[in-house]
A and B are shown apart, each in its own frame.
Chain A
């Protein structure tokens, strides 16, 4: 080992990605934004991106240092169809985590998943 570099391979506990907090955060935003929303295929893409940005900014403000965030927002029309979403990750389970929240109203469903990946 000629490299004398040191890497913080574990985040500070206070700075660790906390799914519960994030989930609450997501829930708050989504609920606020989508409570009265009607599904509109034209606006859905725009909405998802704005939502994702909003959530990302909010989570950034929570202070998870050295975390790379991936926010995935899926909005679909609710017409009684069955939907199944799932994800798999190859990551360091000690540091990385995810939070997800699902919001539904009469016309749409919105699934938000936030993946936090620690940057060593």
Chain B
């Protein structure tokens, strides 16, 4: 036999063969890949045709491979030397393809034989397997039972178990009943197939004819369609159940179906062939069938195993998940326990009940089906006895499917086939052993079933169920037959399309029926643990079938009512879609707000603000108001019409005051003089008393003396040549200091004479200091106020000083600590042509020609001055006898730049001398001098105080010439001594008496003093020996007493004459220390008259001696005495 041989061949592959086989396999793989079909894709391919084809091809390939191998081996054997087994790849491929095609047909025939064999064998094995299955399943039971259980009971258990199993498998699927039917039908089919095989073996021809006949039958057709539909449904269910995981399985199963169909087709073909060569192939067909059955058995075994494990898993899950459903759970547990522990009696009763329930429900739910299949059922009733056995076959059928599936899976995993075969071969043997037993059991089963039916009160239900199952099986049987009858693929496809349509229809119907009752279950349709669903639904179905129906009715009624209501209402009202209503719109809080909310208020408080708010700067933009008190006076007589009481003189308005600065200066000058004099007088009076007290001892006539301060640095070492008092201002004294013989303190002044003007009341310092370049021989004051000083010098010039000039105009020298102003002459006659050419011996101011008494001079002088101003005449006499008369002119305006015409005038000076006339005393007038060759010298000049035209000149001949300025002749021309006419003796001094202007004293160089009267040429009195022959240096009448006069001789003796007391000689003669000059002073007009003499010593000391009252106070008889003396002449 081929099969045996092949198996044996496969079992005993040589190494080389294996290698070849593997390489070829690899080639096949490559080819597959080149085709672009991966196994995965092929598995998932929705097109069943293609997948089936692939599967076919693969199966065929498997077959091919075996046979090819065989053939190749044979071929190799045949042309081992001629051909190389590995000639050319393409060639071989082509050949292989060719072989394949060729072989497929051959294989079909082989298959047919094989399958027949298989079928027989499989039946045997199935029985055997069933027993082993039972054994295995009831392993525990059997252990307890110890094999003493009778067959019937065992069969019953088996049945029951199978029922449960069936139920569970049905529950797995959504469409429970359909599944069960399917299963059952499949079982039936199996069984029927077995029977058929058996029949076929015995009376094959008849059956084939019958089948052909039946093909035309519509009933048969419908049945077949039903079967197809159910199969599809199952496929769909399995597809749904095992969505992802079992997708492959689904596919596989479909392929299985396909395969099965193909097998059937093969079978059909085989049958046809059988018809043709039924005799010949009888045995082969048997074998084929047998073999197929074996295969089936094997597959069923595997499937069974698989399903059991599946079931276990499901129950496990169920247990875990559905703890709440205690009742159900317990029941199932009980069931399990029953299965395992073989609690026989109890379980049987319950199981019977279960079955009853199930059947009831099935009745209810499948009334339609029943109706449809009444006819069939009736027919099935006849075969009812076999139902139980068929039912068992159902299980096996499922198992077969599973096994096939697994085998496919193994194939896809390229499981080594030989290993698989090795495994299978012992099981086949075992199955064949079991087969015999199974036959026995089958018979036993039938008996038991019948007995059970009799026992059960609701046996009819069960039988109905069985009938139904049987019917299904029957149907399947027909279907199988139909399929066998089918000619080719086209027909198959057509059938499939119809089946699909039918399945959908069926599904719809079933869904509408079962939807209400299964609503609760369908709430969780996607649950993968499909075991759960069947278990629960089966239980519920059993308890709530009627209630559910009633409910359904009620619900239907209510819903229809509501439907109507809603329909009516919707017509009345309008529904509209409201605008979107914003329930809450909370904008996101900004980061800062968030911070403030979280930390701003937490644990903190705002204590201070740093905005500098309180730092306010106050400022006012208006000026402060000044407040002051003011007063006003209504008639604004005063310049200051207003003022304030606080005495702020600054604010007083001074604009109204007109200042006459000149007047003020004059006022201040005079006032200051007065003040100074007053102060000096005070001082002098105080000191004079002391001085008197000290000086009285030395001088008999003196009542005291005042010493002028001549101890000045620039006066040091100078001898005083002249002392002169102003005739008007009797307290003004000038002293002429000769140029220094030895160098003094101020060198530049050494060659100059200095004239100091003193006030006797200010002995401390000289008032003014006048500076003359040459030796001053004589000087005099201006009449009136002593504002002008004239001086004649030894060089023949006459100088003039205006004492009114301010100090600032003159040169100031700092001598020692003090500053002194040295005044230069305002006017000098040096530049005048009419000036003297010999030493000027005397300068005299021509007295104003106003007759008046000397006593009333003072008031007259003021008026005089005012009348005349400063215009008066000055006469100067030099030694040559030239007498010049000058007019003193005061310029109205000073010229600071100096005068161009008046060359002697210093710049800024206002007083000048204008030469008016001159006369020479020497010519013609001197008769006595003609015979004398000695030149006449004119030594002194005096003017008659009452008539300024008469002048008296003392000469060196002891004579005094009397002359007039107009040239008029005056009676005595000469005044001579008593005894002698002219003799050579100098007239050194002439002095008119201040009280009697017609009397004058003449002092001579021989020491004689003569008193002359103007009208007589002979003297009144002549004192020849009064000075003891010493020359008279100075002779002065007293200013207060007319009878007193003082004579200083060259031997520094001072003789004082008082004609009242002694007219023969001097009354007092006092010897003084080297007297150089002497001047008498005194004011006769005043009550507090004083008089005295000022003496200058050689050392330069000036002392002022005040006469005692005897010499100063005049007495009445003095005038008489003088009268008498003058009368005496």
Query: Do A7 and B575 touch (CB < 8 A)?
Result: no
| Separation of A106 and B565 alpha carbons in the complex (Å) | 50
Asked if B569 lies at the interface with its beta carbon under 8 angstroms from chain A, I say yes
Binds A, one of B110-118, B580-588, B1108-1116: B580-588
Min CB distance, A94 to chain B, in Å? 8
A41-75 contacts to B, CB under 8 A, are: 74
Query: Do A91 and B576 touch (CB < 8 A)?
Result: yes
Chain B residues within 8 Å of A94, by CB: 573
Over the window 98-118 of chain A, the binary record of Cβ atoms lying under 8 Å from chain B Cβ atoms (1 yes, 0 no) is 101010101001010100000
Chain B residues within 8 Å of A7, by CB: 565, 568-569, 572
When A9-B569, A80-B593, A120-B569 are in contact, do A88 and B588 touch as well, CB less than 8 Å? no
Query: Do A5 and B568 touch (CB < 8 A)?
Result: yes
Which 10 pairs, one residue from A and one from B, show the smallest C-beta to C-beta distance? Answer: A82-B588, A80-B589, A111-B584, A85-B584, A83-B586, A85-B583, A80-B594, A89-B578, A86-B582, A100-B583
Query: Do B581 and A92 touch (CB < 8 A)?
Result: no
Min CB distance, B582 to chain A, in Å? 5
Q: Which chain B residue lies CB-closest to A10?
A: B573
Contact residue among A5, A87, A106 (Cβ-Cβ distance under 8 Å from B581): A87
When A3-B564, A80-B589, A81-B588 are in contact, do A86 and B581 touch as well, CB less than 8 Å? yes
Query: Do B576 and A86 touch (CB < 8 A)?
Result: no
Interface residues in chain B, defined as those with a beta carbon under 8 Å from any beta carbon in chain A: 564-565, 568-569, 572-589, 593-594, 597
Min CB distance, B570 to chain A, in Å? 10
| Separation of A18 and B575 alpha carbons in the complex (Å) | 19
| Separation of A92 and B580 alpha carbons in the complex (Å) | 15
Contact residue among A85, A92, A98 (Cβ-Cβ distance under 8 Å from B573): A92
Query: Do A90 and B569 touch (CB < 8 A)?
Result: no
Query: Do A88 and B578 touch (CB < 8 A)?
Result: yes
Query: Do A90 and B576 touch (CB < 8 A)?
Result: yes
Query: Do A93 and B572 touch (CB < 8 A)?
Result: no
Query: Do A82 and B587 touch (CB < 8 A)?
Result: yes
Interface residues in chain A, defined as those with a beta carbon under 8 Å from any beta carbon in chain B: 1, 3, 5, 7, 9, 74, 78, 80-94, 98, 100, 102, 104, 106, 109, 111, 113, 120
When A5-B568, A80-B594 are in contact, do A102 and B573 touch as well, CB less than 8 Å? no
| Separation of A91 and B578 alpha carbons in the complex (Å) | 7
What are 22 A-B contacts defined by CB distance under 8 Å?
Answer: A3-B564, A5-B565, A7-B569, A9-B569, A80-B588, A80-B589, A80-B597, A81-B586, A82-B586, A84-B584, A87-B581, A89-B577, A90-B576, A91-B575, A91-B576, A91-B578, A93-B578, A100-B583, A104-B586, A106-B597, A109-B584, A120-B573
Chain A residues within 8 Å of B578, by CB: 88-91, 93
| Separation of A9 and B575 alpha carbons in the complex (Å) | 12
Min CB distance, A111 to chain B, in Å? 4
Min CB distance, B737 to chain A, in Å? 123
| Separation of A7 and B221 alpha carbons in the complex (Å) | 57
| Separation of A102 and B583 alpha carbons in the complex (Å) | 8
Chain B residues within 8 Å of A87, by CB: 580-581, 583
Query: Do A102 and B584 touch (CB < 8 A)?
Result: yes
| Separation of A115 and B505 alpha carbons in the complex (Å) | 46
Chain A residues within 8 Å of B577, by CB: 88-90
Interface centre among B569, B573, B580, B583 (most CB of A within 10 A): B583
Query: Do A113 and B569 touch (CB < 8 A)?
Result: no
Chain B residues within 8 Å of A81, by CB: 586, 588-589
Query: Do A86 and B583 touch (CB < 8 A)?
Result: yes
Chain A residues within 8 Å of B580, by CB: 86-88
Query: Do A109 and B586 touch (CB < 8 A)?
Result: yes
Chain B residues within 8 Å of A89, by CB: 577-578, 581
When A9-B569, A81-B588, A82-B587 are in contact, do A98 and B593 touch as well, CB less than 8 Å? no
Contact residue among A85, A90, A104 (Cβ-Cβ distance under 8 Å from B582): A85
| Separation of A87 and B580 alpha carbons in the complex (Å) | 6
Where chain B touches its partner, the secondary structure class is mixed
Query: Do B584 and A74 touch (CB < 8 A)?
Result: yes
Query: Do B581 and A98 touch (CB < 8 A)?
Result: yes
Chain A residues within 8 Å of B569, by CB: 7, 9, 120
Beyond A84-B584, A88-B581, A109-B586, list 19 extra A-B contacts (CB 8 Å): A9-B573, A80-B589, A80-B597, A81-B586, A81-B589, A83-B584, A85-B583, A86-B583, A88-B578, A89-B578, A90-B575, A91-B575, A92-B573, A92-B574, A93-B576, A100-B583, A109-B584, A120-B572, A120-B573
Chain A residues within 8 Å of B564, by CB: 3
Chain B residues within 8 Å of A102, by CB: 583-584
When A85-B582, A88-B577 are in contact, do A9 and B572 touch as well, CB less than 8 Å? yes
Chain B residues within 8 Å of A3, by CB: 564, 568
Chain A residues within 8 Å of B587, by CB: 82
Query: Do B586 and A84 touch (CB < 8 A)?
Result: yes
Chain B residues within 8 Å of A93, by CB: 576, 578
Chain A residues within 8 Å of B585, by CB: 83-85
| Separation of A12 and B593 alpha carbons in the complex (Å) | 49
Query: Do A92 and B575 touch (CB < 8 A)?
Result: yes
Chain A residues within 8 Å of B574, by CB: 92
Q: Which chain B residue lies CB-closest to A106?
A: B597
Min CB distance, A87 to chain B, in Å? 5
Min CB distance, A100 to chain B, in Å? 5
| Separation of A94 and B574 alpha carbons in the complex (Å) | 9
Chain A residues within 8 Å of B573, by CB: 9, 92, 94, 120
Chain B residues within 8 Å of A90, by CB: 575-578
| Separation of A86 and B583 alpha carbons in the complex (Å) | 5
Interface centre among B572, B577, B584, B594 (most CB of A within 10 A): B584
| Separation of A83 and B582 alpha carbons in the complex (Å) | 11
Chain A residues within 8 Å of B583, by CB: 74, 85-87, 100, 102, 111, 113
Min CB distance, B992 to chain A, in Å? 141
Min CB distance, A7 to chain B, in Å? 6
Q: Which chain B residue lies CB-closest to A80?
A: B589
Min CB distance, B960 to chain A, in Å? 148
Chain A residues within 8 Å of B593, by CB: 80
Chain A residues within 8 Å of B582, by CB: 84-86
Chain B residues within 8 Å of A92, by CB: 573-576
Min CB distance, B569 to chain A, in Å? 5
| Separation of A6 and B573 alpha carbons in the complex (Å) | 13
| Separation of A96 and B666 alpha carbons in the complex (Å) | 130
Query: Do A100 and B586 touch (CB < 8 A)?
Result: no
| Separation of A80 and B576 alpha carbons in the complex (Å) | 36
| Separation of A100 and B568 alpha carbons in the complex (Å) | 32
| Separation of A85 and B585 alpha carbons in the complex (Å) | 6
Q: Which chain B residue lies CB-closest to A95?
A: B573
Chain A residues within 8 Å of B594, by CB: 80
Chain A residues within 8 Å of B568, by CB: 1, 3, 5, 7
| Separation of A10 and B1074 alpha carbons in the complex (Å) | 171
Chain A residues within 8 Å of B581, by CB: 86-89, 98, 100, 113
| Separation of A104 and B584 alpha carbons in the complex (Å) | 11
| Separation of A82 and B593 alpha carbons in the complex (Å) | 13
Chain B residues within 8 Å of A9, by CB: 569, 572-573
Chain A residues within 8 Å of B586, by CB: 78, 81-84, 104, 109
| Separation of A8 and B594 alpha carbons in the complex (Å) | 53
Min CB distance, A103 to chain B, in Å? 10
| Separation of A98 and B588 alpha carbons in the complex (Å) | 26
Min CB distance, A79 to chain B, in Å? 8
Min CB distance, B186 to chain A, in Å? 53
Min CB distance, A45 to chain B, in Å? 18
Min CB distance, A77 to chain B, in Å? 11
Chain B residues within 8 Å of A120, by CB: 569, 572-573
Chain B residues within 8 Å of A86, by CB: 580-583
| Separation of A78 and B565 alpha carbons in the complex (Å) | 47
| Separation of A84 and B583 alpha carbons in the complex (Å) | 8
| Separation of A90 and B575 alpha carbons in the complex (Å) | 6
Q: Which chain B residue lies CB-closest to A100?
A: B583
Min CB distance, B79 to chain A, in Å? 87
Min CB distance, B295 to chain A, in Å? 62
Interface centre among B569, B578, B597 (most CB of A within 10 A): B578
Q: Which chain A residue lies CB-closest to B572?
A: A9
